[in-house]
């Protein structure tokens, strides 16, 4: 196995990992938001024993009654068994508001909350929206093609399918130069690797100026320097 193959496989593995990881975060956000409402509607209730502790410093950007974070721990009994929970609330320097009534599922008391509410709050919609956004972003089809124009050496315009960030697919009958790749792709490693695998074009006029700009013509389009 070549170094190029190993590098490509590692790159794909990293992308798959982050895709799964961020998708799970999106699912978790949606579950937490929906669960708070579901507990408020379908959950049973019990009186909880609550203890609070202020943590961290003040946030002067908040109103006085919300300048501090408070750790809220609670416990409750169901059928002789004790269950515990934890959450955080915003409060003042001296106190924090909380509800000592806990909501839980009768079939799984371990799933519980003292913040459950049958009426969705604005924050609930924010969490659901963020979760859906993460799922869409991470699972959108990366192979969707769009038509874009690139210049050729005879100054006529050709239309090719733009390479995706993952594989830089090229139409065999169209010319894609290194300069065009450097200006029109975002995944440098995969794009250049794909270009080399498809065969280097010995007639490729691309060159890189000392200013860093990639060009196809005799003079740099950025600084005007002549091709050396």
Mean pLDDT of 111-130: 92
Closest CA to 28 of 132, 106, 137: 132
Is it the case that residue 149 has pLDDT exceeding 70? no
How sure is the predictor about 193, in pLDDT bands with cuts at 50, 70 and 90? low
Mean pLDDT of 121-147: 82
Is it the case that residue 208 has pLDDT exceeding 60? yes
Q: How far apart are CA 102 and CA 164, in angstroms?
A: 50
* Burial of residue 53 (number of CB atoms within 10 Å: 0-12, 13-18, 19+): exposed
- What's the whole-model pTM score? 0.53
* Burial of residue 169 (number of CB atoms within 10 Å: 0-12, 13-18, 19+): middle
The strands making up 81-91's β-sheet, listed across from edge to edge, are 49-55, 68-78, 81-91
What is the H or E stretch that residue 132 is in? helix 122-139
How many other CB atoms sit within 10 Å of the CB of residue 54?
A: 16
Mean pLDDT of 81-109: 94
How sure is the predictor about 121, in pLDDT bands with cuts at 50, 70 and 90? confident
Distances in Å between the alpha carbon of 40 and those of 33, 35, 55, 97, 116? 12, 8, 28, 18, 5
Please tell me what DSSP assigns to residue 40.
H
Q: Using one digit for the tens of pLDDT, what is the confidence trace for 153-173?
A: 444 444 444 445 444 444 444
pLDDT, residue 159, reads: 43
* Burial of residue 191 (number of CB atoms within 10 Å: 0-12, 13-18, 19+): buried
Q: Using one digit for the tens of pLDDT, what is the confidence trace for 28-76?
A: 999 999 999 999 999 999 999 999 999 988 898 999 999 999 999 999 9
Q: Which residue has the higher pLDDT, 89 or 146?
A: 89
Whether residue 11 contacts residue 190, with contact meaning beta carbons closer than 8 Å, is answered with: yes
What is the H or E stretch that residue 131 is in? helix 122-139
Mean pLDDT of 4-16: 66
């Amino acid at each position: 196995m070549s170094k190029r193959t190993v590098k490509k496989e590692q790159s794909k593995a990293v992308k798959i990992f982050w895709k799964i990881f961020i998708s799970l975060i999106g699912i978790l956000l949606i579950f937490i938001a929906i669960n708070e409402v579901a507990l408020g509607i379908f959950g049973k209730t019990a009186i909880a024993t609550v203890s609070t502790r202020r943590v961290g410093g003040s946030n002067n950007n908040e109103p006085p009654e919300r300048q501090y974070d408070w750790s809220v721990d609670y416990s409750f009994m169901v059928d002789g068994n004790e269950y515990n929970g934890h959450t955080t609330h915003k409060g003042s320097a001296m106190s924090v508001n909380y509800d000592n009534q806990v909501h839980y599922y009768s079939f799984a008391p371990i799933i519980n909350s003292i913040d459950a509410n049958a009426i969705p709050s604005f924050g609930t919609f924010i969490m659901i929206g963020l979760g859906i956004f993460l799922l869409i972003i991470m699972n959108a089809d990366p192979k969707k093609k769009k038509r874009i124009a690139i210049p050729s050496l005879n100054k006529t315009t050709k239309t090719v399918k733009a390479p995706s960030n993952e594989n830089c697919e090229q139409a065999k009958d169209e010319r894609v130069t290194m300069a065009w790749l450097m200006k029109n792709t975002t995944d440098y490693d995969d794009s250049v690797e794909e270009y080399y695998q498809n065969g280097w074009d010995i007639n490729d006029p691309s060159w890189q100026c000392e200013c860093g700009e990639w060009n196809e013509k005799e003079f740099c389009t950025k600084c005007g320097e002549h091709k050396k």
